[in-house]
Every structure is written in C-alpha cells, then in structure tokens.
C-alpha cells in the first residue's frame, strides 16, 4: 500500500521497506536513516532505536532513476527554452515518475543557442535533478540525422570546443554525442576525453574500423543503441556490432518502438557481463505535458504511444524511466534487479568521476529513493529526503510513526 503522508517534518527519520535494491544487490530486513538530504545509516531493522521516527512500508525501495538523455518534459523542450526556468519545469515533470537525476539534452541547433543552454546548466547544476549536460549533435552525420535539423549540422569547431571547456571549467559533467567519422581528426576524441568529457557515438554512419579507431582514442559510449547508426551485418560489424562487442557503455530506449523487444533482449544479454547497458528515456516535452509540440518549426505529436512527425518518423520518445523499467521486467522477463540497475547505478557509474552520490542507496549518498509495488510499478518518490506526492502536494512529507 502507498505510504500515508502528512505535513509533519523530521530532521532525521528511518525508512523501512519490505525489501531494498541498493543499485547493485538486494537487501532484506534492512532500514536506512535519512538526515536532511543524505542517507546516514543503513542497519538491520531490529537495531533501530525504538524512539526514533520510522516509516514502515510494504513497498520495495530502490535508488531514484538516473536518465542521461532528457530532451524535455512538462511541455518544455530544452532546445526551445534553454534557461534555468525551462530546466526547472523539465525536472519537475520527470520527478514524479521517479527520475531524480538527469542530463538535460540539447540537440543539434545554432552555436548561440548551445551557449545559452550551457549557461542554463551551469546556473542550475545540482538543482531540480540536473547533474550535467548532454550535447547531442551538431557534429553528426547527415545520413543518420533522424529528426535533427540538417541546416545546423556542421563540422566540429572551436566554438563547440570552447563551450565544452566552459562546462568542464565549471565542473559540469558533460557528454557529447557525435559521429566519429565526421571529425576532422580522430584525436579530437582524445582531447575531449582528457578534458573529462564523455564522448558517445550516435547519429553515425561509421563502419567497424572507424569505431575501433574511435574506441582507441577514448570513445566510451553509444547513444540510443540501434537508432541512427549502422547495423551489424554478416561481414561488417557496423556501429551496433562494435558497441555490443566493446567494453563501452550503451544507452538504449526501452519503449518497444525504437528497438523491438527481441533486439532489445539480445542487446542486453550481449552486454550482461560488463553490465554497461543503461536505459535512457530520450523523452520529449510530452512527458508530463501536452501531447504535441513544435520542434524546428514542425509539429511532433503522440500517436498510438509513438512520438512522430508528420512523415510518420520517430522523433524522440514518449516514455518515462519508470515505464521503461516496468517494460523490461513485465515484457522481456528481465530480472528486476538487472532492470533497476540499468536505470540507476549503471548510468550513475558512467558519470562516477564527477558524481558519487546518485544511483545507489549507500551511506553518504543522496536520499533519492523510488518506492515500487510488487508488480514493479512506481508508487512514490523521495527526492533529497523529501517525499514527493505525485497525486497531490509535491512538497508534502511522509507520515512517520514510532513503530
């Protein structure tokens, strides 16, 4: 049953779920203490002092979801409103669906707008769930541009390099998606990696040998695997084959439309040993917002669960991390812990150089928690130690009893 709530507040309190997945392993008969926005203690239930405030629930606890590819939410597209106010709206929209940490994603556009987006992230980092920035394009292959506007696609330039340097100077975790074969020199990848930028291949028409070279230079990730990239064939691994065979990380959209469930299952299995496959929503402004929006002057809308343009082509996704986790468990039969890790600890580990407090339930970690029913659907979210009531008041706090 959902936890009852009230407006009582406590500086420190215990949460005792029916079971706990901490991001890596299952724990049972465990409770953890939340002080302000931090988990300060994890201990057996039987050791909790009887006079301490405790919230007991038959729900399952896991870390708040971490989404490394969020284009929009709550009726706002980051490209259309690259501002702190826009990021606040996007963060609030995804919070009620369990996403407590995310990378706002700015897709191919002008250099001026990219700078505005970078400024917004620098001002907002650490607030509203913003943990960094994902720049997707504009240095991608025209042949694999997808919904990106070809007018703004361009070679890698000093302007983008300056923006990346500014983000890293301000200690903003940063990912850039690019087409390696379109770079003037593959050593640019090594330069960016030396700056602390995560370089991901996406919207790319590269062959296997080009990806091999990019991996040697420090490429460490692949963006929305299978989509907007060369497929694996019998004699050419393409981007997909190299991604699955490598030790690199792979983001993947789990809505059943971007990648069919059979290909999804095969891909997850291929990366199972390295545990470097993670879920991204690739969500647009329709999550928590109206069912259509304008991008590059063109209407994008939801039809039969798919987000498409007037030509019927996929244009981002209309799915949450919570729905993605549920899909993997209920439709693919994935082990619950594996599915949850793909939405929590795995994407957090990719950004571990700059972020060590998200994606897991551990002592010293952020008190970002999702509470699930036994059918793995999300019920409630706790963000920075504060209970988020998705049905009523987003600022309400949990009812805590001394039991």
232-288 tens-digit pLDDT = 999 999 999 999 999 999 999 999 999 999 999 999 999 998 999 999 999 999 999
Q: Helices 111-124 & 158-169, crossing angle to 10 degrees?
A: 0
Q: How far is CA 176 from CA 2, 21, 47, 156, in A?
A: 39, 30, 46, 11
For residue 302, the tally of other CB atoms under 10 A from its CB is 15
**What is the radius of gyration, based on Cα positions, of the chain?**
21
The pTM for the full model equals: 0.94
Cα 26 from Cα 351, distance rounded (Å): 23
Residue 391: pLDDT over 90: no
DSSP state of 317: B
Domain 5-63+360-398 has CATH 2.30.40.10: yes
Which pair of tokens denotes residue 179? 């087409």
Contact indicator for 282, 248 with CB cutoff of 8 Å? no
User: How does pLDDT run across 306-326, given as a tens digit for each residue?
Assistant: 999 888 888 889 999 999 999
Per the annotation, the verdict on 282 as an active-site residue is: yes
Q: Is pLDDT at 113 greater than 70 in this prediction?
A: yes
- Given this model, what pLDDT does residue 357 score? 87
Within 152-235, residue ranges assigned H as helices are 158-169, 187-194, 208-217
Which of 177, 270, 187, 181 lies closest to 224 in space, CA to CA? Answer: 177
| pLDDT tens digits for range 333-362 | 999 999 999 999 999 999 975 467 899 999
3-state secondary structure of 251: strand
58-109 per-position pLDDT tens digit: 999 999 999 999 999 999 999 999 999 999 999 999 999 999 999 999 999 9
Q: What pLDDT does residue 320 have?
A: 97
Task: For residue 277, count CB atoms less than 10 angstroms from its CB and return exposed for 0-12, middle for 13-18, buried for 19 or more.
Answer: buried
Q: Quote the tokens at residue 129.
A: 């769930």
Phi, psi angles (nearest 5°) of residue 82? -80, 75
Q: Which residues contact 326 (CB under 8 A, 6 or more apart)?
A: 375, 376, 377, 378
CB atoms within 10 A of CB 19: 17
Residue ranges of domains in the chain: 5-63+360-398, 65-350
Q: Structure tokens of 281?
A: 């929503």
Sheet holding 38-44, edge to edge: 38-44, 30-35, 12-16, 54-56
Of 119, 282, 349, 389, which residue is the catalytic one? Answer: 282
CB 72 within 8 A of CB 106: no
The SS3 of residue 268 is helix
Give yes or no for a contact between 270 and 280, defined as CB atoms under 8 angstroms apart. Answer: no
CB-based contacts of 318: which residues, under 8 Å, 6+ apart? 255, 283, 284, 286, 287, 302, 305, 306, 307
Identify the residue whose tokens are 């002008």.
110
Find the length of the chain: 403
Dist. CA 90–CA 88, nearest whole Å = 5
Cβ–Cβ < 8 Å for 372, 52: no
Spatial distance between the Cα atoms of 301 and 308, rounded to a whole number of angstroms: 6
Q: Reply yes or no on domain 65-350 having CATH 3.20.20.140.
A: yes
Is the preceding peptide bond at 138 cis, omega within 30 degrees of 0?
A: yes
Q: Tokens 């250099």 appear where?
A: 111
Rounded to whole angstroms, the Cα distance separating 49 from 45 reads 9
**Residue with more model confidence, 322 or 305:** 322
In whole angstroms, give the CA distance from residue 373 to residue 379. Answer: 7
């Amino acid at each position: 049953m959902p936890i009852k709530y009230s407006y009582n507040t406590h500086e420190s309190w215990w949460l005792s779920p029916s079971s706990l997945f901490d991001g890596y392993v299952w724990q049972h008969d465990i409770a953890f203490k939340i002080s302000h926005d931090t988990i300060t203690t994890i201990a057996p239930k039987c050791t909790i002092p009887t006079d301490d405030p405790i919230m007991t629930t038959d729900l399952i606890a896991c870390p708040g979801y971490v989404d490394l590819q969020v284009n929009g939410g709550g009726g706002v597209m980051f490209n259309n409103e690259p501002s702190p106010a826009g990021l606040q709206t996007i963060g609030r929209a995804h919070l009620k669906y369990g996403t407590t940490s995310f990378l706002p994603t700015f897709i191919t556009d002008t250099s001026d707008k990219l700078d505005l987006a970078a400024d917004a992230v620098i001002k907002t980092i650490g607030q509203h769930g913003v943990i960094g920035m994902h720049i997707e394009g504009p240095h991608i292959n025209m042949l694999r541009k997808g919904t990106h506007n070809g007018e703004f696609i361009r070679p890698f330039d000093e302007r983008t390099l300056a923006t990346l340097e500014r983000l890293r100077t301000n200690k903003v975790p940063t990912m850039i998606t690019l087409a390696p074969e379109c770079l003037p020199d593959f050593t640019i990848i090594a330069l960016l990696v030396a700056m602390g930028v995560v370089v991901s291949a996406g919207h790319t028409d590269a062959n296997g040998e080009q990806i091999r070279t990019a991996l040697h230079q420090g490429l460490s990730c692949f963006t929305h695997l299978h989509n907007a990239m060369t497929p694996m064939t019998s004699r050419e691994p393409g981007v997909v084959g190299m991604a699955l065979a490598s030790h690199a990380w792979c983001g993947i959209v789990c809505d059943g439309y971007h990648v069919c469930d059979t290909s999804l299952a095969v891909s997850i299995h291929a990366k199972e040993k390295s545990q470097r496959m993670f879920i991204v929503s690739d969500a647009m402004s329709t999550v928590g917002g109206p069912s259509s929006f304008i991008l590059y002057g063109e209407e994008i809308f939801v039809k039969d669960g798919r987000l498409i343009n007037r030509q019927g082509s996929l244009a981002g996704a209309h799915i949450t991390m919570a729905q993605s986790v549920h899909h993997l468990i209920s439709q693919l039969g994935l082990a619950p812990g594996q599915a949850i890790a793909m939405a929590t600890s795995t994407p957090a580990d990719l950004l571990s150089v700059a972020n060590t407090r998200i994606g897991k339930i551990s002592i010293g970690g952020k008190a970002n928690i999702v509470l699930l029913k036994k059918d793995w659907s999300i019920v409630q979210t706790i963000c920075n130690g504060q209970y988020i009531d998705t049905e009523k008041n987003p600022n309400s706090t949990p009812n805590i009893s001394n039991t």
